[in-house]
Structure 1
Amino acid sequence: MNNKPYKRVLLKLSGEALMGNDSFGINRSTISNITSEISKVFDLGIEIAIVIGGGNIFRGVAPGAQGMDRATADYMGMMATIMNALALQDSLKCIGVDARVQSALNIDQVVEPYIRPKALRYLEEGKIVIFAAGTGNPFFTTDTAAALRGAEIGAEIVLKATKVDGIYSSDPKKDPSATKYSNICFDEVIVRRIEVMDATAFALCRDHNLPINVFSIYKENALKRVVSGENEGTLVHI
């Protein structure tokens, strides 16, 4: 297990994390708190890339998307991630953190396309890179995009930011006796079908020996403790 600070990390941030207590959309106070936590890590000199989901935006149109072709709905979800990425970039800018958005879908008037060498250069220059639009392909989740981009940029770990502070033996909201794992191996997570990330993302990280840490983005300084190599959340490893 790592007990040293990481140098380059990939943060997977769900769209739902931006909602706060709202039913959908972006809660300004919540996104400000999240960017504050990110800035604490940025100030340590750690290179940060972020993959963001779009569930909070898409949730507002989900009733109208029922029965829609899956590929079409997935493309709508990808565009929702671009909206979230722009909101996150703006929130970071407001606190003096330089961030760039790269999209797997080409919308040149709004964001630049994903180009791996340019993303690496931004990280080396001390900028945060936000990856939007998932992998650019339907049927693949933003969790899988996080695993893919993490491998592509040479991240040392994927940080899965959630509303809970780790992986439990059962749903802690329904089962008060649920126990939290401090660490668990990829094979066990896949066999037991633990749904904190999809199986494709877990398998991709396992195949590239890319550990995952599941933690609560709402817990103050939790992100900072994770990247500093402290025991926080649940570590998924080979």
Structure 2
Amino acid sequence: MAIIVLSLGGSILLPEIDRPNIKPYISVLTRISAHHSLFVVVGGGGTARQYISLARSFDADDAFSDELGIMVTRLNATLLVGALGKAAYPGVVETHTEALCAAETGKIVIMGGITPGQTTDAVAAVLAERVQADLFINLTAVDGIYSADPRKDTSAKRYDIMTASELLGVVIGQQAVAGVNTVMDIVAVKMVERCGIPLLVMDGRDPTQLESAIKTGRYTGTLVSPDGKSPFPLQK
């Protein structure tokens, strides 16, 4: 049984509160958890950004805004726990140690944010190291890592495979350009570099693609591997 950590963006799970993408994930995550130990870290998405923007209009400081964002990630995570029902551990865990304990139940373990100033991608990367994951998957709205923002640059190249140090160079380069949203933050990438766990970055809007990647090893995305080797097929 492989150990898999998913970083599931809030904008993937809840593009809008009236356009949820939760239901398609229920059966997929449940089937994956039947064969693998599964952890899911849920982001805040657009809802968190809206709350933070409103808070800053009242001159709230960054620390307060971070706490507000964490609350939203945990609200999104709680919604996923409720949707998964008996397949999930019945509560949103708030520390990595608690996640380890919750995994002993054999249920899907769900987290949100835990640390001010740290994205849920970074939380998931630390969790992957803590649970000694076989695979870390970042589910985002882009089908991999690109040389530039593909939504703004049609000549951007998608990387099929790269090392964590190469990814770090791409992320740092993109963050130097104003207005560009990178797929992962620097802290998360540094954690991936440190722990050496394979990272797969792929489009999470269609969860059947996630299931296919785990079951067959076929995917569209970018594999970040310390040795250039694929982690597939995963041990059942």
Q: TM-score, normalised by structure 1?
A: 0.81
Letter in 1 for 2:2: K
Compare the two structures and name the one with the higher strand fraction: 1
Q: Residues 149-195 of structure 1, C-alpha deviation per residue, up to 9 Å, x if partnerless?
A: 11111211211001122112222223333332211111111112252
| Matched-pair contact (CA < 8 Å) for 1:37–1:220 | yes
Alpha-carbon shift at residue 40 of structure 1 (Å) = 3.1
Counterpart check, 1:127 vs 2:115: no
Alpha-carbon shift at residue 56 of structure 1 (Å) = 3.1
Provide the residue aligned with 1:31 in structure 2: 22
Mapped partners of 2:116, 2:188: distance in 1: 15
**Structure 1 unpaired stretches of 5+:** 1-5, 105-113
Mapped partners of 2:8, 2:80: distance in 1: 10
- Aligned to 2:53, the other structure's residue is in SS state helix
- Aligned to 1:187, the other structure's residue is in SS state helix
Letter in 2 for 1:76: L
Provide the residue aligned with 2:2 in structure 1: 7
| Matched-pair contact (CA < 8 Å) for 1:74–1:138 | yes
| Matched-pair contact (CA < 8 Å) for 2:164–2:190 | yes
Mapped partners of 1:48, 1:103: distance in 2: 13
Provide the residue aligned with 1:235 in structure 2: 223
Identity %: 30
Alpha-carbon shift at residue 26 of structure 1 (Å) = 6.1
Alpha-carbon shift at residue 33 of structure 1 (Å) = 1.5
- Aligned to 2:50, the other structure's residue is in SS state coil
Provide the residue aligned with 1:19 in structure 2: 14
| Matched-pair contact (CA < 8 Å) for 2:77–2:111 | yes
Q: Residues 189-215 of structure 1, C-alpha deviation per residue, up to 9 Å, x if partnerless?
A: 111225211111111111111121101
**Structure 2 unpaired stretches of 5+:** 175-181, 227-236
Mapped partners of 1:57, 1:102: distance in 2: 18
- Aligned match for 1:55, one of 45, 58, 67: 45
Mapped partners of 1:13, 1:115: distance in 2: 17
Deviates more, 1:173-182 or 1:78-87: 173-182
| Matched-pair contact (CA < 8 Å) for 1:18–1:56 | no
Alpha-carbon shift at residue 121 of structure 1 (Å) = 4.5
**Structure 1 220/120 Cα, relative in aligned 2: closer, same or farther at 3 Å?**
closer
| Alpha-carbon RMSD | 2.1
Provide the residue aligned with 2:178 in structure 1: none
Q: Paired residues, what number?
A: 214
Provide the residue aligned with 1:218 in structure 2: 205
Q: Residues 35-72 of structure 1, C-alpha deviation per residue, up to 9 Å, x if partnerless?
A: 233223123x1110011111333233233222321111
Letter in 1 for 2:64: T
Mapped partners of 2:63, 2:27: distance in 1: 35
**Structure 1 206/92 Cα, relative in aligned 2: closer, same or farther at 3 Å?**
same
Provide the residue aligned with 2:32 in structure 1: 41
Alpha-carbon shift at residue 126 of structure 1 (Å) = 2.1
Q: TM-score, normalised by structure 2?
A: 0.81
